[in-house]
Amino acid sequence: MKLFASLLLAASLAAPVFSAHAEAPKAAAKADPANGAASYSPVCAACHRPDGNSMVPANPKLAQQHPDYLNKQLQEFKSGKRANAIMMGMVAALSDEDMKNISVWLSAQKATPGTSSDKNLVALGERIYRGGIADRQIAACAGCHSPNGAGIPSQYPRLSGQHADYTAAQLTAFRDGVRLNSLQMTQVASKLNDREIKAVADYIAGLR
């Protein structure tokens, strides 16, 4: 009995010592929008404007985009999975924390609306966006990006109001095997011709 009591005493004394030295799991650091704004300004504002609403048709609007999507693209530019010489150079010095902060800050900026410009193609673009092309097994864009182009957070990007030139360039890059960081988009775009790409891109520009 004395031996048993001694063992219990030893165990009770050892337990707090073990607990005191055990490391609690670290919580994921929250994004800091203020630091994101500070990192964004010198690196990104020249091409995408201070509020993320690019005025250059070749440069995408980033304001109000889903932060997970933005962060994924920045990470993939840095790793080379999404090849773009300009963007790869821009993100080279950004840390994972910088990219996360920038993405969260951009998501809180209000996107400016866009407009469709080609009245002859907008009807075709709307049909493809909303209904796809059934006989060629082309899925409707709205299924993933939502009817109003708002996208689905953490899964599919916001498209509404995006520059038609930029959207058309990305669809063409997916179709032609230049952009390789989304198998799903490669499969969809591979079935579209130039006229259809231009039409759906122009329709997306006017979505709101």
The domain segmentation of the chain, as residue ranges, is 33-107, 119-205
CA distance 99 to 106: 11
What is the Cα–Cα distance from 73 to 68, expressed in whole angstroms? 9
Would you state the pLDDT for residue 11?
42
Tell me the C-alpha distance between 41 and 72, whole Å: 20
**Coil, strand or helix at 174:** helix
- Judge whether 205 and 161 are in contact, CB under 8 Å: yes
Is pLDDT above 80 for 204?
yes
Q: Do domains 33-107 and 119-205 have the same CATH topology?
A: yes
pLDDT value at 16 more than 60: no
Q: pLDDT for 121-167, tens place per residue?
A: 999 999 999 999 999 999 999 999 999 999 999 889 999 999 999 99
CB-based burial label for 137 (10 Å; 0-12, 13-18, 19+): exposed
Domain 119-205 = CATH 1.10.3210.50: no
Q: How far apart are CA 91 and CA 31, in angstroms?
A: 18
Average pLDDT, the chain: 90
Residue 59 has pLDDT above 60, yes or no: yes
**What is the model's pTM?**
0.85
Decide which of 3.90.220.20, 4.10.320.10, 1.10.760.10, 3.90.1140.10 is the CATH code for 33-107. Answer: 1.10.760.10
